Amino acid sequence: MRKILKLAALVVLVCGTIFAYACGGEGKQARIKGNSSYEASLFRQNCVICHGPEGEGRMMNGQQVPSLRKGEPATRAEEEIYKQIAFGKLPMPPFRDQLTESEMRRLATFIKEELQGRTD
Ligand code: HEC
């Protein structure tokens, strides 16, 4: 009986560890709604109109605007995200004349770390 209990405890411990490893840490994505950070406010003012209220993407004039939270956009280097914001890529307009260098950098970091939950 003792042995079985010990075994059961071990199974729970091992499974718990694997579960925590698989599900913990990564993938903690921040919300934009109700987010009082400066970056979230920049995002609300400049980006939600096309990328949706939570940056999840949306259909616009029959075209899919990509989600910034998952898929390929969530594999880009921060520098690439910055370049997309600064220089745009049709049909997305460039923001280098509307936002400061620091605002664009902060948005790129915000997208990677907060919306995509990446720390790489
Ligand atoms: C007028 C609509 C519009 C606005 C406003 C807009 N975007 Fe976009 N964005 C798009 C479209 C459409 C694409 C996809 C472009 C393509 O096909 O490559 C895109 C792509 C992107 C990508 C690249 C996704 C990838 O494939 O890696 C990023 C990053 C991005 N937008 C961030 C932003 C940020 C940050 C803002 C606000 C400062 C913003 N966008 C404002 C329409 C918009």
Q: Is residue 97 part of a domain?
A: yes
43 C-alpha to ligand 1 centroid (Å): 11
- Which residues, other chains included, contact 89 with Cβ-Cβ below 8 Å and sequence gap of 6+? none
- Tell me, what CATH number does 38's domain have? 1.10.760.10
For the chain, percent of residues with pLDDT exceeding 70: 78
DSSP alpha helix (H) spans, 1-120: 2-23, 38-46, 48-51, 78-87, 101-109
Give the chain's domain count: 1
- Which residues, other chains included, contact 31 with Cβ-Cβ below 8 Å and sequence gap of 6+? 54
Residue pLDDT, tens place only, 14-70: 444 444 444 444 558 999 999 999 999 999 999 999 999 999 999 999 999 999 999
Residue nearest to atom 36 of ligand 1 (CA): 47
Q: Is residue 14 part of a domain?
A: no
Q: Is residue 64 part of a domain?
A: yes
d(CA 105, CA 2): 59
Peptide bond connecting 91 to the previous residue in cis, omega within 30 degrees of 0: yes
What's the whole-number average pLDDT of the chain? 87
